[in-house]
Amino acid sequence: MSNYNFEPKDLNFEAKVYDSFSRQRVMQSIGAQLTKVLPGKVEIQLPFRSDLTQQNNYLHAGIVTTIVDSACGYAAFSLMPEGADVLTIEFKINFLSPALAEIFIAKGQVTKPGKNITVCSGDVIGKNGDKEKIVATMLATIMTIR
Amino acid sequence: MSNYNFEPKDLNFEAKVYDSFSRQRVMQSIGAQLTKVLPGKVEIQLPFRSDLTQQNNYLHAGIVTTIVDSACGYAAFSLMPEGADVLTIEFKINFLSPALAEIFIAKGQVTKPGKNITVCSGDVIGKNGDKEKIVATMLATIMTIR
Amino acid sequence: MSNYNFEPKDLNFEAKVYDSFSRQRVMQSIGAQLTKVLPGKVEIQLPFRSDLTQQNNYLHAGIVTTIVDSACGYAAFSLMPEGADVLTIEFKINFLSPALAEIFIAKGQVTKPGKNITVCSGDVIGKNGDKEKIVATMLATIMTIR
Amino acid sequence: MSNYNFEPKDLNFEAKVYDSFSRQRVMQSIGAQLTKVLPGKVEIQLPFRSDLTQQNNYLHAGIVTTIVDSACGYAAFSLMPEGADVLTIEFKINFLSPALAEIFIAKGQVTKPGKNITVCSGDVIGKNGDKEKIVATMLATIMTIR
């Protein structure tokens, strides 16, 4: 049902998302990179790192969550008017397969934009060479802050 | 409604939780420590670190999530029989106040244990000196793996 | 962590909740009753009815959800200032045991009130004579509408 | 990411879903009908009824939830092997626009099937003549019962 051709309210949306991402220090700490910014659609990539794992050497669910939370937040942020910021109120995430892959791609996209509340969905894809599998799926609620 | 006096099925529960936690390499990477292990109830502490922040210098929501996800998972694990492991199927988390504090305490506890499915709730408390505030609250579904 | 002694902003909170509940026509249709209204805490009761069941003759999960959604919404509403209304943005609910009981009691309470966003938790208890069991637990996000 | 061309494990899946739906007495009570059954994809329709409303004369969020919960459950059930049943463990639902329409269409589909756990997503569409809007979106976890 989503309309993937959202109109940005701020033509500077791409620079604004890159700038904010660069100030999320945790992204540098874990080695995540912003790889796509479209209106209402953002991708963040994270190469696997063994110092971010849980007890079975999978990427910890919290780190999977970290990248897709930011991807959803920035998808919402990309549609905000100038001067508005976003705040994640809450999200739910389902873990669909073990987080074991060479690289993880978090894809966030706006399901429904709103003046006060924007709902986003996100997926985390695990890639091993050419093979892809879905690792997690998120549904998030984001509030506009003026 | 929760019964906080759960009977552990494995008397070795405490050592087993500490051992598994020590193998979650992400916990050492972010500086989190396991500070309480009771049957069905686990606490993890994380001192604030500026390299784990988002764009407003608050602890990133994903890191808040990381510690309370592990606290909930280990609360469930503490009630598992010998030889059984746990897997987080999904969780929902609400962020209640800005994650700005000297230390964060993630408290996970079992709401309802089950043979296959255990439901846990978790809170993250932010502490500044003597002052405490609730930062986030989680509801999580965990599966027993045999 | 919840403070159960919330101060109502509108002293007319009880009458206002009863009045709104009486206009929720679905409550009469399913036979639900408002049985407790305190500041930040509301209870709704529903006697079992076989015309509200799913394929195994349990109360349908959607009906369990209906009463605890209203209990949470009214718990939030009880703390609203005069003239403000509430809107449920989203909720998550876990089903903990089969919804088979003589009577179901949905208990909604405010976890954290806020100017714009109020977070509530809710439980549904199934009662058979003196025996009680927890049937479902909810975590809900409610927005203030002015 | 979803593969919409799931292979049913039980060739009798359609009859089995219709049969189970006919035993969900709440569906007859509220006037809901099963209108599509494909492998991993199910639709349920509900014409608006004023006796199912909340205080603003919108369809109550719990009734919106009731139809999409069943749509998701039956989407999962359609992929189950012979003799297996399903149980909804939990779901989250976001309400995206007021539930005011002539007819509501709940669309449930499997996101990821699994031996023990199936994750489904669901949307509720409100239709007024030719106009459609998305009213709610759900993410649900369903367990296989043998």
Chain A residues in contact with D94 by the CB 8 A cut-off are 111, 119, 139, 141
Give dist(CA B119, CA B98) in Å, integer: 26
Can you name the residues that pair with B146 across neighbouring β-strands?
none
Give residues with Cβ within 8 angstroms of A68, minimum separation 6. A44, A93, A106, A107, A108, A122, A123, A124, A136, A138
For residue A62, pLDDT beyond 60: yes
Per-residue pLDDT at B50: 98
Within D1-146, residue ranges assigned H as helices are 13-22, 25-30, 61-77
Structure confidence at residue C5 as a pLDDT band (50, 70, 90) = confident
What local confidence, expressed as pLDDT, does residue A4 receive?
Answer: 60
Which residue in chain A is spatially nearest to C90 when comparing CA positions? A141
DSSP-based three-state secondary structure for A104 = strand
Q: Tell me how far apart the alpha carbons of residues D28 and B47 are, in angstroms, rounded to a whole number.
A: 55
- Closest among A8, B97, B61, C69 to D136, alpha carbons compared: C69
Domains of chain D in sequence order: 13-145 (3.10.129.10)
* Closest to D68 in 3D by CA, of D96, D29, D98, D107: D107
Of C64-68, D5-9, D11-15, which range is least confident? D5-9
pLDDT grade for A5, boundaries at 50, 70 and 90:
confident
Q: What is the pTM of this model?
A: 0.96
Record: contact A125-D92, CB cut-off 8 A: no
Contact status, residue D124 vs residue D44, Cβ threshold 8 Å: no
pLDDT at B18: 98
Tokens coding C74:
């009214």
Put simply, the answer to whether A89 touches B95 (Cβ < 8 Å) is: yes
Q: D26-56 pLDDT, tens per residue?
A: 999 999 999 999 999 999 999 999 999 999 9
C21/C43 Cα distance (integer angstroms)? 11
pLDDT in tens, B43-73: 999 999 999 999 999 999 999 999 999 999 9
Q: Say how many C-beta atoms besides its own lie within 10 A of residue A72's C-beta.
A: 32
The chain B residues in contact with chain A (CB within 8 A) are 20-21, 23-26, 28-29, 50-55, 60-63, 65-67, 69-70, 87-95
Q: Which pLDDT value is given to residue C32? A: 98
Q: Which of B92, B117, B138 to mutate to test the interface with D (most CBs of D within 10 A)?
A: B117
Whole-number average pLDDT of chain A: 96
Task: Give the ipTM of the model, two decimals please.
Answer: 0.96
pLDDT of residue A45 exceeding 60: yes
* A137:D125 CB<8 A: no
Contact predicate B81/B115, CB 8 Å: no
Asked whether the beta carbons of residue D26 and residue C94 sit closer than 8 angstroms, the reply is: no
3-state SS record for A8-42: CCCCCHHHHHHHHHHCCHHHHHHCCEEEEEECCEE
For tokens 């397969």, name the residue: A97
Nearest to C52 among D29, D54, D55 (CB): D29
Q: Which of B48, B77, B74, B76 is nearest to B63 (CA)?
A: B48
DSSP string for residues in A81-95: PTT-EEEEEEEEEEE
pLDDT digits (tens, 9 = 90+) for D59-113: 999 999 999 999 999 999 999 999 999 999 999 999 999 999 999 999 999 999 9
**Interface residue of B42, B51, B77, B90 to substitute, partner A, most A CBs within 10 Å:** B90
Which pLDDT score is estimated for B1? 44
What's the average model confidence in pLDDT over A130-143?
A: 97
Q: Does residue C1 surpass a pLDDT of 70?
A: no
- The number of CA neighbours under 13 Å toward the Cβ of D80 is 25
Going by their DSSP bridges, the two strands B41-47 and D33-38 should be labelled as unpaired
Average pLDDT on C30-39 reads: 98
Q: Pick from B34, B32, B37, B35: which is nearest to B12 by CA?
A: B37
Q: List chain B pLDDT tens, one digit each, 146 residues.
A: 455 679 999 999 999 999 999 999 999 999 999 999 999 999 999 999 999 999 999 999 999 999 999 999 999 999 999 999 999 999 999 999 999 999 999 999 999 999 999 999 999 999 999 999 999 999 999 999 99
Q: What are phi and psi of A67, to 5 degrees?
A: -75, -35
Which pLDDT belongs to residue D4? 60
Residue C4 confidence (pLDDT): 60
Determine whether the interchain pair D25/C50 forms a contact, defined as Cβ–Cβ distance below 8 Å.
Answer: yes
Q: Tell me, what's the pLDDT at B122?
A: 98
* Amino acid D5: pLDDT: 79
At C49-101, the pLDDT tens digits run: 999 999 999 999 999 999 999 999 999 999 999 999 999 999 999 999 999 99
Query: A87-135: per-residue pLDDT in tens?
Result: 999 999 999 999 999 999 999 999 999 999 999 999 999 999 999 999 9
